[in-house]
Each structure stands twice: as C-alpha cells, then as structure tokens.
Structure 1
C-alpha cells in the first residue's frame, strides 16, 4: 500500500503545472490586395503568471510578437522575445501597443474570414503550451468588441 501511495505521489509531483491562460476577443486586421503584413490582437489573462513566447499561423511566412513605443517623437515597432503575463492581470494586445505581427502573408486577409492562429505560452517552470485560435478578420476601422470568452 505504501508503495502505491509513494508511486502516485511521485507521478503527481512530476506533472507540469500549466498556467490557465484565457484568451478573449482575438481578431486580425483585414488587408488590402498585395499587402504583406497585418496584426493580430486579443486580451490574455494567466491565472498563475506566464509569458507569451511565440505565435504561428498558416496564413503568414513569419509571425512575431511586437511592441509599439514612442522613441522621442517617433512611433517605432520592435520585435520582442516574450510578453509577460502577470498573474491575474489582463494583458491587451491592441493596435498601437503589443500585438502579434503576421508578415509575408500568403494571400489577402479578407474581412469576415477566420484566421487560424496558434500562440505559445511558457509557464513559470519552463513548460510550454500551445493555444489554438480562430481569429475573425475585421476591417481596419472596426471597433473592438468587449466580449470575453475562454478558448
């Protein structure tokens, strides 16, 4: 009996603790013909704290995590290695701020299409989890909806 209890305890202790990450309102900005890049936006919330470390989509040749920031009087966009997701806080990826950049687009992203997107979250213990999303393409001037849901 003690051996079974010990084996169970060891098995449970070796499991990775995954951060519970909620994704709300994912969307991608629609493009015009010949446009080669666009952004993906969403709200992320991690129960235990984690980091957004990668993203991928079959519609783009290159997908990166970016930030927009002011440098003197010039708005600049930079690639970042990871985006911190502090425990319990909503981190918003939005136009003019943090976002997922889809580059080398394989075709026009048309308003109303569903864009497959995978984001990769790294937990505090270094383990990673992939979250599959289908993000609707919205027009450039479309307002951001305030719905919340878990994906």
Structure 2
C-alpha cells in the first residue's frame, strides 16, 4: 500500500488560506490587537493645501479604545474631523478634540463624507500612487505607524 503525504497538501492549504485572508481584508497594519485596514489618502487637486486620510479601525481587544491624534510630516496640522449638519442643512467639518471611540470588538470607518483625518497645510502635493507617512495615536493601543497610499481617483465606498 502506498502512503500519500499530507504535508505538501497542508502547506498548499495554508498558502491558499493566507491569500484568501489578504483579499478579504486588504492590507492591514496592527499594533497589538488594533488593526488599520484599507488606508488611503487624497487631495482635491495637485495644488491643494488640504487633504484627508481614510481607513477602517478594527479593535480586536476586549477594551474600548480611542483614536486621539494623528501625526505626519506631509502637513502642518492634522486634525480628527467629522461632518455635522447645521440648522440650515449645510454640512460643516468639525474638529473632534476627544477623537473617535472604537468599542471593544468593533470597527470604526473613517470615510469620505464622514469621519476622517484632515491634513491641513500640505508641505507637498499628494501625488497619486505615492505613499505618505501617518502615525495614529490611540489611548490604549499607543502609536501605529503607517505608510498610506495616495489615491486621488478612488471613489467612495458605499459600505464597509
């Protein structure tokens, strides 16, 4: 009777599983159990003085956390913004001093038309395809350092 080795098959299955995970969740950067997924930045034009960064935060811990700041050398000031509709129905950007809460086991999406990291006073143009440094500061997870791809052609996703 001939024995068939399952080791090569197991390795192939692990590789397929790893590739499937990458396609399902996209590029991801972790610090402990806080994950940053699908990060990108954009500017409104090549001469823009402002830009924004967007991503999904996944809190895989049992503890609530909060994104409290962002840092980068591409802009003079980075602020955590959201949109608020005033009494006249006009959307205004609002700086959130307290940051964004990410509950234990939950996701929080920073996306166009909603919460985002505002890059104010750009030091250089955000060129499509380039990567920019971005450091996210959390109350509990500490700092997560990212390289964010500039994608000025990306369309807003309707759902995450």
Tell me the TM-score range normalised by the shorter chain: 0.7 to 0.9
Highest Rg: 1 or 2? 2
Aligned counterpart in structure 2 of residue 103 of structure 1, from 120, 124, 129:
120
1:121 aligns with 2:133: no
Q: Which has the higher strand share?
A: 1
What SS does structure 1 have at the residue aligned with 2:139?
strand
1:77 aligns with 2:93: yes
Q: Which runs of 5+ in 2 are unaligned?
A: 1-30
TM-score by length of 1: 0.76
Q: Mean alpha-carbon deviation: is it higher for 91-100 or for 67-76?
A: 67-76
- Count of aligned positions: 125
Q: Give the CA RMSD over aligned residues.
A: 2.1
Between the two structures, name the one with larger relative contact order (CA 8 Å, sep ≥ 6): 1
Detail structure 1 runs of 4+ shifted over 2 Å in the superposition.
30-34
Alpha carbons 1:116, 1:135 under 8 Å: kept = yes
Over residues 28-79 of structure 1, what are the superposed CA-to-partner deviations in whole Å (9 max), with x where a residue is unaligned?
0144232100110000011221000000111001001011121121001010
Using the TM superposition, give the Cα deviation of residue 143 of structure 1 relative to its aligned residue in structure 2, in angstroms: 3.0
TM-score by length of 2: 0.72
Q: Whole-Å Cα distance in 1 between the matches of residues 55 and 91 of structure 2?
A: 21
